[in-house]
């Protein structure tokens, strides 16, 4: 027995044991230090792995099995606790490493700010990159209480980086008036309240493009994801979110990476949120990695 | 610093600091002493205020911000614990005071019986008053286990006061056979199971009328509001309830007051119910107060 | 007072006090020893009874009251704890006893394996028996980790017994690839993801047939039933499940028995799952027993 | 199989199947309608039975097994929901029936008011009756918010019935000033804060006397019993409470009945309170019934 | 009715309605933004008020009633969310205001860092000030992850301000090696693990001194206070903490202010922690304000 | 970056990154398939790691820091789900591997049965091995419901292996009469109810002996460890358990391995049990590995 390989108890179900010959790397970004309302998403990735034991390895939606996609669960990126600036640097460096090795990066948050350094790394490799963003919140602030590194700012930072016209937000139902105005004035796409129907309209326009997909679990109604920091009623169902993932899978978009963020287990004693997240990860894996 | 004004930590987000120049008064009615199944709604108003910190002050549904509506969170009405008769008298007196000052009353329960004394005060000012009632339960009993002051009786009392033909109930999915029969025989309107579609039919008939709107949080499916005394599956989604509030906002009805009742925090460790209630209060404020 | 009849505190609401002149017998099967992921359904039946106190005895869906159907809550079948083989034998023997007395058997689980011995007893009495199965999972394995008596196998066993062409599964969204293939190759009906619409198609084909209906509570989305062992997002709403029960009630199918399984209270601190289950039991009673 | 005897799933572990030849009758009194702070004890008895499955039938404290004491779990007394006056009459009548049949009554609450009608029945049979009362609260009010039938009044009523000099309270750490004064002026014994040591002093004085023992679970510190209506820190440990039960068992007191009240499961998602209550019931059975 | 005074529903039980003629001011400091492990104490003060309704107004420990001490619950200090520097300035300014009016300040946290600005204000008024500190943690770091304003640093800052020889810590069971060493080398008093016995030794030495008392609820064992950010087993019981408060009350120390911090309700669904905190506040009020 | 070493997010705090030069190996045994009452301990090890982030690396009890003991968290042993026989073989093989490499094995359960294969491996290396066993339960059954591989049997199996006279049980408060008798008749040591005092007597007798220490978390009172399968009141405090670990540390016993089992996170929404377990693991590491 090789003990360095023995740590299989708490990896995502079906994880391949070796990094080298895996196509996808699954990793956690256990950071929540800029959260304004209810923290706790630092514990999200570990819990998602824990509950993945309850999943089947086959998707009847996609008629595909996990063994058809070699992926390696690399665990959580070791982040310097309480230091957003350094955390962001480490995430960017980590993703750059993955991309150099031609891995498909699939991340688990952590707060939404983690998507920002991921996109910085992605954008270097894919200069025509677009982003599909599913969320209850705009996340378009320039700062929050004076703090530019905040869970309320990542999409704005990304828009500034890749151009607002390459940002497509879906399911948005919360934000400041100024955020919606900024988006409108700068040609950024926002689909309010709904995800699936507007997505069907947008996907053909993105055909052939390199696209990163970031999903904030709070795009779901709190009924479907009570375990998150900022619950906001009026969201979509898990059925609609699954269908949206599958719609992307069946589209001609070239998905080059993705993440699922803001699972905060403490607020959900039934653990339905973590279980749902683990199924979403499975569908993202099976649907987006060809 | 004036200490009497210092109590801003636990008011509803965006509350104006002064009563005098506020248009709306928001108040709690922390009473649950006649509840038959699972009590706890006495703690509802305080929890709704607590979690309102997680709200944005802007509604993308209505394109309006809280600062456009001056409202004063007056806290909870001090009610004599365990005495329904005196509680009811105090609520009526309190609302009468608000109406004399031309305030728009917006209440948070507490059990549903609190709507009864509110309506008594409202009816004196608005003799042509109608009520829109969203609820899982008919609440049309004349008594419960021999007690006329019961959370099962308020709508019946209101119907007796303003005439059953002025009572419009929506979303009803639970009650005794006799209650449904009484409604039918007395010309009271009941839309079973649904809210939004029947509301669209009724609202034009109420155009120009003074209308009070009372929402029992259990009109929502337990998936969307587990934190209430009497959960009853088969209810509407928070999306439908939001749309119903907005439908009223866009109608020609003259909303003169409203309440949201039966939030019982102990049954919802995720606090989604209180969070949802706080968003509903925001939408009621922004949508119904012109 | 006769003390043997005194045990009315923890029976399902409205239960008739005597076995002899009751048409229906309601019983619990508190077994969960073969569960693979999250056990706890052994405590389901007791909790469903406990919370049934919150129910009205009238169904506005069916315009019928519990007093119109005489049923006897016989409590839980005493099962030898930890012994699946003997448990199964006892359940079969118990149901055979009920059928000899011409009772309509209505069961509460417990894990889904309990439906297997019930079907063995039913099949002896009704040789043309078909089964309607609502579930998130196929339950078509021949064994689980080498164990033939597993909560993953009951529908397969039933299909082997009554013929796969007499098994109709609805709402299925999880299973191994091999299970779906087996069903397809053997003429078993599976409606993936949906229940109500496919049911409307199938029911006319079953007109006049003796049908047993087994409902795994996890056919509901976790939002509607967090209190179960294996939550799996993307499920149906409680509204759709109620409508499906009512669709069967209005059909020409001859329902001869049924069960509701897999309620595991520990995972739902709001108790919405048990409350929902108690309402489903009421609707099954009022809808299926003529 | 005789179905009237089939209800063994939800009885207290080791219950004898027949009333007639049992020495002890165990019964629930699922009433909490006069509770002032946090209700829910109506669900106590059912939960205590549910979790008793986790108990061993042997007590290493007393070196005695449940099979050495024949007892019959008669279930919950059917109480008219919401009617304290009639509930009290039914309890008294029920206990009188048990006493006529020479049963040892062992009750599970429900709120503490249930002990009052029990004592009325007991006192008729045992005119020299004394009571040992373990509780956090004095329960000596004459009324609560004007209501004489309140969970704050039972011990006062009992003191008025059997004479304050026959009432021995232990562990008391909460009450109004007037209650403590009344006790002092009327010769009633109150041991503040402690149970075991003062009990050791009192028991010899009660040697040979008929004694009823009532235990409010909140005599325990909330650490040991969070699942109760009115938690009050500074209480005793479960070790001290067990030792107190055993001290009574070893004394020369003639215990003629007892109860354990105020278990409210909703406030304890770990269910330690119900589990603790079930062990206390076992020790009361094994220790007090010779 | 004067509506500015109407906010009595959610104040601490027995609060006097006017600031001017109150001796004590009770206030919340709802800040937790520097917390490293599990945040949530921002919601502590509101919850403590909410549950205080379950308290008696009389202390049998001190034989004193709340009406004997006039205190005004001023609500929470409005703190700029997410800005520790400005929060600290506002707290200091607030306390200075109270002291100028000769009020006894009694605070509820919030994270422990809030005690630091309170002490700055106190020290200006009482130059011979000593502090009694009960806590599981040393809180003597100079910074945490590079941040000087951290919940791990307040006692160090206080020691630097008033001199380490005037700091008396009790119940400490967690900290870095360097923290314990610094205390030792600088003449600061630390009683490891225990509170009551070492307190009895220290109190006589502080006779006549002006003393501020700060209690971190996590000095209690997690069994007694699960609802806090950093639970750490091996703590004292609520009985010992109550006795320690009473020991101070009976001593010749001149208590000039105090606080109770780190109650984080989300981690305690039974709410025993908030209930315990409300009783501790009552005893602090009754014991320390002559 | 070497990705195989990146998995540092979910290891026990302070874990050394390499197996080879570590003295201790910490591993999980996520098995609970023979549990009779409330399962869930399969999720214990992962949760203990998760919460270890809240620990300080220094022990003020032992004046020692984690960096003084090199240990490697090897993750969970991959166990064939649902197969006790094969699980046991794999555990034995795993431990044998560790012992061959001269590692100190420190395990986290999982159910108590896991200690049995560990002891089989240990006994081969240490023929004079004794075991110190802290537990609420005897675990001396020969079978449970006919199953020899049960969480009720491990200590009996161990006694049969190493001789009952080498088994020392402490804190026992639950078991069948026959189990206590067997222990007595066969010279096995059982200290009922208490741990620390009897341990002080026994340790000198074991001086110089190779001793394995197994701690079932339920030796703690449920107040201190609600998150376990079979809670049983009347247990010891976490203070006493810590003191017992330290007593062993200061003794002349040669501790050669140990484990901490039966943490079941689902039953403890406050997570105090997992937090307590993580501190116990730290003290076991710092105290027992010289």
Chain segment F46-90, per-residue pLDDT in tens: 889 988 988 999 999 999 999 999 999 988 888 876 677 888 999
Query: Phi, psi (5° rounding) for residue F158?
Result: -65, -40
Q: What is the largest CA-CA distance in chain A?
A: 60
**Hey, are the CB atoms on D224 and F227 less than 8 Å from each other?**
no
Q: Which two tokens stand for residue F121?
A: 């491996």
- In this predicted structure, which of A266-280, C93-107, E131-145 has the lowest mean pLDDT? E131-145
Interface membership of C163 toward A (CB under 8 Å) = no
Strands of F173-253, DSSP E: 189-192, 210-216
Q: What per-residue confidence (pLDDT) applies to F2?
A: 39
pLDDT tens, residue by residue, D73-88: 988 888 876 677 888 9
Indicate if the pLDDT at residue C6 is higher than 60. Answer: no
| Residue C49 in contact with partner chain D when CB distance is under 8 A | yes
- What is the helix, strand, coil percentage profile of chain A, to 5? 40, 20, 40
For residue D81, which residues of chain C lie inside 8 Å, CB to CB? 53
DSSP E strand stretches across chain B: 24-29, 58-59, 64-65, 71-76, 104-109, 130-134, 167-172, 189-192, 210-216, 254-261
- CB-CB: which of A4, A75, A77 is closest to F19? A4
Query: Across the interface, do E7 and B75 touch by the CB < 8 Å criterion?
Result: yes
Q: What is the pLDDT of residues C68-90, one digit of tens each?
A: 999 999 888 888 766 778 889 99
Residue F146: what pLDDT? 67
Q: From the candidates D21, D23, D47, D50, which should be mutated to test the interface with C, based on the most C CB atoms within 10 A?
A: D50
Query: Of D41, D78, D49, D43, whose CA–CA distance to C9 is shortest?
Result: D78
Pick from F65, F238, F276: CB nearest E177: F65
* B&E contacts, CB < 8 Å: 91
3-state secondary structure of B235: coil
Which chain B residues contact residue C237 at CB under 8 A?
221, 223
pLDDT value of residue D17? 80
- What DSSP line would sit under chain D, residue for residue? --GGG---TTS-TT--S-STT-SEEEEEE---TT-SS---GGGHHHHHHHHGGGS-SEETTTTEEGGGS-EEEEEE----TT-HHHHHHHHHHHHHHHHHTTPEEEEEESSGGGHHHHHHHHHHH-TT-EEEEE-SB----S-BTTBSSSTTSHHHHHHHHH-GGGEEEEEE-B--HHHHHHHHHTT-EEEES-SHHHHHHHGGGGTT-EEEEEEEGGGB-TTT--SSSS--SS-B-HHHHHHHHHHHHHSS-EEEEEEEE---GGG-TT-HHHHHHHHHHHHHHHHH--
Q: What value of ipTM does the predicted structure carry?
A: 0.93
Residues contacting D13, CB < 8 A, separation 6+: D52, D53, D55, D57, D66, D278
Contact state of E242 with D234 under an 8 Å Cβ cutoff: yes
Residue of E nearest to B265 (CA): E269
Alpha-carbon distance D130 to nearest alpha carbon in chain C (angstroms)? 28
Nearest residue, CB atoms, E276 vs list D172, D222, D269: D222
Residues of C in contact with B266 (CB under 8 A): none
Q: Do D167 and D130 meet the contact criterion of CB atoms below 8 Å apart?
A: yes
pLDDT in tens, B191-215: 999 999 999 999 999 999 999 999 9
Judged by CB atoms closer than 8 Å, whether chains meet at C56 and B175 is answered as: yes
| pLDDT of res. A266 | 86
Which one of A32, A39, A111 makes the best mutation probe of the E interface by having the most chain E beta carbons within 10 Å?
A39
Q: Which tokens hold the place of C148?
A: 């033939």
Mean pLDDT of F253-277: 95
Q: Would the pLDDT of A198 be above 50? A: yes
Residues of B in contact with D146 (CB under 8 A): 82-83
Structure tokens at F98: 């560790």
State the nearest Cα–Cα gap between C27 and chain D, in angstroms: 9
Interface of A with B in 205-234 (CB under 8 A): 221-224, 226-227, 230-234
Model confidence, pTM: 0.89
| B60: contact with A, CB 8 A cutoff | yes
- CB contact E144 to F (< 8 Å): no
Tokens read off for B282: 């925001």
Contact between A49 and A11 under an 8 Å Cβ cutoff? The reply is: yes
**Chain A residue whose CA is closest to C152:** A56
If you average pLDDT over every residue of chain C, what do you get? 91
Closest CA to F283 of E234, C49, A99: E234
Ranges B13-17, C117-121, C170-174, D284-288: which has the least confidence? B13-17
CA count, 13 A, side-chain hemisphere, F31? 29
Interchain proximity B222–C53, CB inside 8 Å: no
Residues of chain F found within 8 Å of residue D58, distances taken between Cβ atoms: 175-177, 180
User: Which residue blocks in C126-195 are alpha helix, DSSP H?
Assistant: 154-162, 177-185
How far, in Å, are C255, D14, D117, F134, F184 from residue F178 at the CA level? 50, 17, 41, 19, 10
The minimum CA-CA distance between C11 and chain F, rounded to whole Å, is: 23
3-state class percentages of chain B: helix first, strand second, coil last, to nearest 5 = 40, 20, 40
pLDDT at F9 over 80: no
Q: How many CA atoms lie within 13 A of A210 on its CB side?
A: 13
Answer yes or no: do D37 and E54 touch at CB < 8 A: yes
Task: Check pLDDT > 60 for residue B29.
Answer: yes
Q: Please say if the pLDDT value at position B7 is more than 90.
A: no
Q: Say yes or no for a CB contact (<8 Å) between C145 and F269.
A: no
Check CB contact of D16 with chain F, cutoff 8 Å: no
**Chain A contact present for B61, CB below 8 A:** yes
Mean pLDDT to the nearest integer, A244-250: 98
Q: How many whole angstroms separate alpha carbon D265 and alpha carbon E105? A: 38
List chain D residues with CB under 8 Å of B270: none
Answer yes or no: are the C-beta atoms of D66 and D285 closer than 8 Å. yes
CA dihedral sign of residues F76, F78, F83, F84:
negative
B8 DSSP 8-state letter: -
CA distance E31 to E175: 22
Task: Supply the DSSP symbol for C225.
Answer: -
Nearest chain F CA: its distance from A117 CA (Å): 17
pLDDT category at C5 given cuts 50, 70, 90 is very low
For E90, name the nearest residue in chain B, comparing CA atoms only.
B1
Q: Look at D50 and C47 and tell me if their CB atoms are within 8 Å.
A: yes
Most confident of E50-54, F152-156, F172-176: F172-176
The per-residue pLDDT for E8 is 42
What value does the CA radius of gyration of chain F take, rounded to a whole number of Å?
Answer: 17
Whether chain D has a CB inside 8 Å of the CB on C12: the answer is: no
Given an 8 Å threshold on Cβ–Cβ distance, is B270 in contact with A172?
no
Nearest CA to A243 out of A220, A264, A262 is that of A220
Distance (Å) from the C-alpha of residue D237 to the closest C-alpha of chain E? 10
Handedness of CA D31, D35, D39, D41 (dihedral sign): negative
Taking all residues of chain D, what is their mean pLDDT, rounded to a whole number? 91
- D145–B contact, CB cutoff 8 A: yes
Mean pLDDT within C132-155: 85
Beta-carbon pairs below 8 A across chains E and F: 72
Q: Is A60 on the interface with E (CB under 8 A)?
A: no
Question: With 0-12 CB in 10 A as exposed, 13-18 as middle and 19+ as buried, what is F102?
Answer: exposed
Residues in chain D with CB shorter than 8 Å from the CB of C7 are: 7, 74-76
Q: Is E266 in contact with A266 (Cβ distance < 8 A)?
A: yes
CA distances from F161 to E129, F116, F168, F172, F259 (A): 64, 9, 14, 21, 18
Q: Where are the beta strands (DSSP E) in chain F?
A: 24-29, 58-59, 64-65, 71-76, 104-109, 130-134, 167-172, 189-192, 210-216, 254-261
pLDDT of residue C2: 39
Q: How far is A73 from chain E (nearest CA, A)?
A: 25
């Amino acid at each position: 027995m090789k003990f360095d390989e023995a740590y299989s108890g708490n990896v995502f179900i079906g994880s391949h044991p070796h990094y080298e010959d895996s196509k996808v790397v699954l990793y956690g970004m256990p950071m929540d230090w800029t959260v304004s309302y209810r923290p706790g998403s630092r514990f999200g990735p570990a819990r998602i792995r824990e509950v993945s034991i309850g999943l089947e390895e086959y998707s009847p939606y996609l008629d595909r099995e996990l063994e058809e996609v070699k992926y390696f669960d690399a665990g959580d990126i070791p982040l310097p606790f309480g230091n957003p600036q350094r955390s962001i640097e480490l995430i960017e460096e980590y993703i750059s490493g993955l991309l150099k090795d031609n891995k498909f990066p699939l991340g688990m948050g952590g707060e939404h700010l983690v998507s920002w350094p991921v996109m910085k790394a992605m954008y270097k490799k894919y200069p025509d990159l677009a982003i599909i963003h599913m969320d209850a919140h705009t996340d378009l602030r320039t700062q929050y209480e004076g703090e530019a590194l905040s869970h309320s700012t990542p999409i704005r930072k990304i828009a500034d980086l890749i151009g607002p016209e390459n940002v497509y937000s879906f399911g948005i139902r919360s934000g400041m008036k100024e955020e919606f105005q900024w988006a409108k004035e700068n040609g950024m796409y926002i689909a309010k309240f709904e995800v699936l129907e507007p997505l069907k309209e947008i996907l053909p326009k993105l055909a052939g493009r390199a696209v990163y997909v970031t999903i904030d679990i709070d795009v779901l109604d709190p009924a479907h994801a009570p375990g998150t920091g900022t619950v906001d009623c009026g969201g979509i169902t898990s059925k609609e979110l699954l269908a949206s993932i599958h719609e992307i899978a069946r589209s001609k978009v070239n998905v080059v990476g993705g993440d699922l963020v803001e699972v905060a287990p403490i607020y959900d004693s039934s653990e339905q949120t973590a279980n749902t997240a683990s199924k979403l990860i499975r569908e993202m894996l099976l649907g987006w990695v060809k």
